[in-house]
Structure 1
Amino acid sequence: MEGKPTTGWGKSLAVPSVQEIVRKDAKDVPERYIQNEEDRPLSSKISLLSSEIPIINLSLLDNGDENELRKLDFASKEWGFFQVINHGVTKEVLQNMEAAAASFFELPVGEKEKYAMAENDIQGYGQTYIVSEQQKLDWNDSMFLVTLPPKHQDMKYWPSTLVGFKEAVEQYAREIEMVTTKILANLSQLMGMEKQRLRQMHGEMKQGIRLNYYSPCAEPDLVLGVRPHSDISSISLLLQEDEITGLQIRHKESWVPVNPIPNAIVVNIGDVMEGWSNGVYKSIEHRAVTNQTKARISIAAFVIPEDQVDIGPVETMVDDHLLSRKYKSVKYIDFIRYNLARKMDGKSHTDYLKL
């Protein structure tokens, strides 16, 4: 049934549009966006390891290349993040998706607000994880849509006035799902299972896409585009703009900038995969920083299991002698609700999954 909403996961308080704040006064940063001293982007060391973030050639991986499979294992264990090239999504599809996102954020604020999140939904225009009027806010605007399967799309959140928006998002969603399937197949193999097993474990696998708009900021050292967090997905796939580095990942206590590779897709391990793999593949904290001069758009696709799926360790990842069970079995819906009821706080929410 088209237009069936996915509600009941949680809710978030409404916040002002950062785009509008900047449009009205580009020099002043409101107090609520100024991060506490210890959380500011320059208060922690920025690492020089950007060039070491693994790059996976999906075409080789999909054709059974053993070396590429070992690289995927290393990337998932040691980094939790990697960039994927030769993934098969055409440049045209990527560009159309970026153009669709840009066209939404170019709408007047009154038009965007027609697609604001409802009281008990995380779909729509607005920020998630806003649980109190006191908490610090992120320097971004975002739009979240459930994109797959089509029956879960709630059309009241899809901007109907934008020509080509729906077509561009749906085409991108389908192609990203093909990339997802290939990556999950190889992770299944590494976890000692049949290739289709991880995909099956999602139940009815869902996909949500979040469009992020990071306005320039007069004082980028005081704000964060997105606070440190890990993703509550199985895996996430991010399309970055080619010219601007904004994403940073935590690696060995430092923040490593993820420099964009043209047309590459950034993939990261989510909390669900951490649970399924018994902690062998860990979800990694990441954040976004801003800059003074240029707005930045990114597009994140989240791979989401069915609500009633268990996210405890699979049998092949538990060994009484070598790798004892470290995670309990938790229903995905319970994990989501626990998570959305709190503000983002690094990886502290994953303690809920652990024994």
Structure 2
Amino acid sequence: MSTDADVNKPGSEMEEPPTYASSLPVPNVQEMVKNNPLEVPERYIRTTQELEKVNCLTHLSSQIPVIDFSLLSSGNSEELLNLDIACKEWGFFQLINHGIEGGVLQRMKDATAEFFKLPIEEKEKYAMPSNDIHGYGHAYVVSEDQTLDWSDALVLLQYPIHFRKLQFWPKTPQGFKETIEAYSSEVKRVGEGVLSCLSMIMGMEKHVLLEWHKELVQGLRVNYYPPCSTPERVLGLSPHSDADTITLLMQDDHVCALEIRHNGGWVPVPPLPNALLLNVGDVIEIWSNGKYKSVEHRAMTNKNKERTSFATFFFPRDDVEVEPIDHIIGDAQNSKLYKKVIYGDYLRQSLKRKLDGKAHTDVARINE
């Protein structure tokens, strides 16, 4: 796998798009449901312990923080404090007034719905290659006996533009590429704005976090969850935290399936119309020395309805060194909890494992 971003400098004409990780080919879940709606193969069935059904904290859903991006962008001190609390206590929050037009969001949803309605032969024109996770397929499948998630995915690297592998960007439905570009550009603007605010609440000038990325890398994972005849026995997406800096998620308006780990249980996250859901990733956890923790989340399935979600990941270039910020350690009078990691190495070791909570973060922890 290519990890040569430290050789080829940002903006270099010779720079090749990075290769991230391979994933074993597995059956297409949507096609499996289409052929036999009642079939749930053994390889998808979870144990009672894995499902943790008894730990559903639905009553806490209304307490998930809501942050106003327009106030953040104007430097409102109260909203910056709310951001600090949200990141510290939840690691997740709903972002409203982000300025992305409803039409841009809806066109992305509509075009994606059309893509997933295409015949499997058409979708597989964009199938993931054997050595990377661009395109249509499944990520994080690392062993033949691994329990599988009840979902399919389309994964695209969006920024920087010279990292794009356009052969994996669907040409159908007509205009899909342009729709993705319009959506990605707007989400990029919001992501950069949030990172600027995170930089400030972490005690730095607003431009610092973005500069530390060297060049902000942005990827999109569209998750498609077909209906499941026995949703109580499977998971749409296994529990995990994100190995990035921050993630912005656009949820389906009509199906509640996302759950986040909080207070020892799972809290459902109901969709908020036109809001984006934002969560802290592992990079912020390391930089903040654990003040802001990346939080486990998972996706459930629905017996009667399909669901689509759009996760945009923001992360540093491969050669960026990530470790706790000195003044945060000093201010808190705490010991350093994380060692220095090279981000490209950290990301790839995460991608080479099955999704398993926060187990992948162990490589960055200092064992006392």
Report the CA distance between 1:104 and its aligned residue: 1.6
Q: Which amino acid is the alignment partner of residue 158 of structure 1?
A: W
CA distance in 2, matches of 1:74, 1:275: 17
CA contact (8 A) 1:2 1:153 kept: no
Report the CA distance between 1:320 and its aligned residue: 7.5
Q: For 1:161, which of 164, 169, 172 is the aligned residue?
A: 172
CA distance in 2, matches of 1:297, 1:122: 19
CA distance in 1, matches of 2:16, 2:136: 15
Report the CA distance between 1:43 and its aligned residue: 4.7
Report the CA distance between 1:251 and its aligned residue: 0.2
CA distance in 2, matches of 1:307, 1:7: 9
Q: Which amino acid is the alignment partner of residue 117 of structure 1?
A: M
Report the CA distance between 1:6 and its aligned residue: 3.5
Q: Which amino acid is the alignment partner of residue 325 of structure 1?
A: K
CA distance 1:223–1:290, shift in 2 (3 Å): same
Report the CA distance between 1:314 and its aligned residue: 1.8
CA distance in 2, matches of 1:226, 1:10: 18
CA distance 1:214–1:56, shift in 2 (3 Å): same
Question: Unaligned stretches of 5+ in structure 2?
Answer: 1-11
CA distance 1:247–1:3, shift in 2 (3 Å): farther
CA distance 1:93–1:283, shift in 2 (3 Å): same
CA distance in 2, matches of 1:148, 1:341: 22
Instruction: State whether structure 2 residue 325 is matched by structure 1 residue 314.
Output: yes
CA contact (8 A) 2:17 2:162 kept: no
Instruction: State whether structure 2 residue 83 is matched by structure 1 residue 72.
Output: yes
CA distance in 2, matches of 1:126, 1:2: 30
CA contact (8 A) 1:3 1:153 kept: no
CA distance in 2, matches of 1:130, 1:86: 37
Q: For 2:344, which of 312, 319, 333 is the aligned residue?
A: 333
1:82-121 to 2 correspondences below 5 Å: 82-121=93-132
CA contact (8 A) 2:24 2:141 kept: yes
Instruction: State whether structure 2 residue 196 is matched by structure 1 residue 185.
Output: yes
SS at match of 2:53: coil
CA distance in 2, matches of 1:216, 1:2: 45
Instruction: State whether structure 2 residue 45 is matched by structure 1 residue 28.
Output: no
Q: Which amino acid is the alignment partner of residue 69 of structure 2?
A: L
CA distance in 2, matches of 1:130, 1:184: 31
Question: Which segment drifts farther, 216-225 or 316-325?
Answer: 316-325
Report the CA distance between 1:2 and its aligned residue: 10
CA contact (8 A) 1:12 1:122 kept: yes
Report the CA distance between 1:42 and its aligned residue: 2.1
State the partner residue of 2:247. 236
CA distance in 2, matches of 1:245, 1:35: 20
SS at match of 1:50: helix
Q: Which amino acid is the alignment partner of residue 22 of structure 1?
A: V
State the partner residue of 2:6. none
Per-residue deviation, residues 208-235 of structure 1 (Å, max 9, x unmatched): 0011110010000000000000001100
1:276-291 to 2 correspondences below 5 Å: 276-291=287-302
Report the CA distance between 1:5 and its aligned residue: 6.2
Q: CA RMSD in A?
A: 1.6
Q: For 2:186, which of 159, 175, 181 is the aligned residue?
A: 175
State the partner residue of 1:246. 257
Normalising to structure 1: TM-score of the pair?
A: 0.97
State the partner residue of 1:131. 142
Normalising to structure 2: TM-score of the pair?
A: 0.93
Q: Which amino acid is the alignment partner of residue 129 of structure 1?
A: Y
Question: Which segment drifts farther, 313-322 or 29-38?
Answer: 313-322
CA contact (8 A) 2:157 2:163 kept: yes
Question: Which segment drifts farther, 311-320 or 122-131?
Answer: 311-320
Paired-residue identity, %: 49
CA contact (8 A) 2:322 2:340 kept: yes
CA distance in 2, matches of 1:188, 1:160: 38
Report the CA distance between 1:182 and its aligned residue: 1.2
CA distance in 1, matches of 2:304, 2:230: 10
Question: Which segment drifts farther, 340-349 or 317-326?
Answer: 317-326
